[in-house]
Homo-oligomer: A and B are copies of this chain.
Amino acid sequence: MPKQTFLSLPEDKQNTLIQSAKKEFSRVPLHEASIANIIKDAGIPRGSFYQYFEDKEDLYYYLLNQVAQENNKKLNSILQEKKGNLFEALFEQFRYMISLRHHEEHNDFLRYAFLNMNHRKENTMANNIYKESLKNERSQTLEMVDISFLNIEDKQELSHVIRIVGAITFHNLVQVFVHDLTDEEAIYNYEAQISLIKKGLQRKEVD
């Protein structure tokens, strides 16, 4: 998290730094990005940077979290629209996520995020839904899922469902960027996989 010093900064100065940071994180993946470039672009001295953030990661995950919160809002609105049907909402959200590639609003920020997806980034993107689902904490998003669509006994099992679809969704998103899939290819694969887990991977006994 940014230090208080940063949050007290006039908004335009915050934005300048954020823009420069996004620019750098869109140029190269996190581990290649340099604070030197960010402050040069933003025109602030090195010492100031460390008044605002702990380090490069601190700034990066602050930005990623902002993006994640936008996505989360989107997911919530889709879930509402789909009346709690998790699978339909997932498709819609997946389509939305891969469509973001074509807007250049976030430049290659998301692209590099997915190309170098790891546990921490995934958790940030998932907005801690994983954690909340485990601890049965109230989560606006989870509350909206209508479990009557799901083949589970109780709400407890929902956390496993969330982890399953989460893992598959992230895996597919990574594939999109790694293999530069077209929207059609990406959606085809994702639908194939979600369809499989919906109906079950195990062949039913022939009675």
- A contacts, CB < 8 Å to B: 31, 87, 115-119, 148-152, 157, 160-161, 163-168, 170-171, 174, 178, 189, 192-193, 196-204
> Contact between B151 and A200 (Cβ–Cβ < 8 Å)?
yes
| Contact A164-B197, Cβ < 8 Å, known A148-B203, A203-B149 | yes
> Contact between B204 and A201 (Cβ–Cβ < 8 Å)?
no
- What are 14 A-B interface contacts by the 8 Å CB criterion? A87-B201, A115-B119, A116-B118, A119-B178, A148-B203, A149-B202, A150-B201, A151-B196, A151-B204, A160-B189, A160-B193, A161-B201, A164-B201, A197-B201
A148 to B202, CA, bound (A): 9
| This chain's copy number in the assembly | 2
Contact of A196 among B157, B166, B168, B174 (CB under 8 A): B157
CB distance from A132 to the nearest CB of B (A): 14
A189 to B150, CA, bound (A): 18
CB distance from A154 to the nearest CB of B (A): 12
CB distance from A30 to the nearest CB of B (A): 10
> Contact between A164 and B168 (Cβ–Cβ < 8 Å)?
yes
